[in-house]
Structure 1
Amino acid sequence: MSTLDDLQQTLAAEHAAVYAYGLIAARTTGSLRSAATTAYNAHRARRDQLRVMIRERGGAPREAAASYAVPVTPGSAAEATRLAVHVEEGVTAAYLQLAATAEVAVRERAALAMQESVIRAYGFRAEIPALPGLRPAVTPEPTAKSGSPAPTPATG
């Protein structure tokens, strides 16, 4: 794929994110609505940046679809949160593809956008999952018997 194709793919992901966050904000209240509105505005800004980048390379930015399929229509805070995480993971994947381009400036913007979307996704999660391939953290059990002195560090 060319840089222009990757930019168009990423723009499509941002269009879908703007749609989904509009849906989330319309169906939630309180702090969740506030977080969704903040994310909506962030994705609109990224979408607009991508449009400029596409035009700078001689392309015509693809327009947003009238609607997008979402895995869940948010009827509760839990469903809205699941949708937000799904959106951010999709956007992160799109920017990961864009980060593979040869253009340094595009890679830098893609890396920054990925960081932002990962942070937003974690902000919506109740708990942070283990990294792929790693087991979840486990609190170690004490091995010394009660009343035993703690080991002293070795001195050199």
Structure 2
Amino acid sequence: MSKRALDAARAALAAEHAAVYGYGVVGGRVDDDRRAEAAAAHTAHRARRDALARTVRDLGGRVAVAAPAYALPFAVPDAAAAVRLAAALEDRVAGVYSDLVRAAEGPLRREAADALREAAVRAVRWRGTGVAFPGLAERA
């Protein structure tokens, strides 16, 4: 596998670390009716993070550990902001998986495409609307 694929896998791992952290914030602020959705997304991102750590190792790379905290893109004082944060987290994750789809081949490319699709679907659920080309900021 190429250095480009390893770099893209590392970027996806970093985004998953941030998403796991971010969903901790979302889960603490979101209304009760969306808490199960936030918990499911948190679990999904943890699973993707763990799989990516194995992938990075398998590609011969060093696995970066999660930071103790991550800067959020905006303040999250209430449930409405928590919903916006969840959509933003999914958009970010979709973007890095789009890069991994472009860089990888074979099973890793398929896994990245599945992860991109899952993030795009979650973003639509949180935001209520979709984008034409999820994960491709230059096409949005």
Q: Which runs of 5+ in 1 are unaligned?
A: 133-156
| Deviation for aligned residue 1:72 | 2.3
Partner of 2:54: 52
CA distance in 2, matches of 1:52, 1:130: 31
CA distance in 2, matches of 1:56, 1:72: 35
Partner of 1:9: 11
Q: Is the 8 A contact 1:21 1:40 kept in 2?
A: yes
CA 1:129 to 1:29, structure 2 compared with 1: closer, same or farther past 3 Å? closer
Q: How does 1:73-152 map to 2 (within 5 A)?
A: 73-126=75-128, 128-129=129-130, 131=132
Q: Is the 8 A contact 1:20 1:70 kept in 2?
A: yes
Which portions of structure 1, spanning 4 or more consecutive aligned residues, are displaced by more than 3 angstroms? Answer: 129-132
Max Rg structure: 1
Whose helix proportion is higher, 1 or 2? 2
Identity across matched positions, percent: 40
Amino acid at match of 1:123: R
CA distance in 1, matches of 2:4, 2:90: 24
How much is the aligned-residue C-alpha RMSD, in angstroms? 1.5
Q: Is the 8 A contact 1:84 1:121 kept in 2?
A: yes
Q: How many residues align?
A: 131
Partner of 1:140: none
Compute the TM-score of the two structures, normalised by the length of structure 1.
0.78
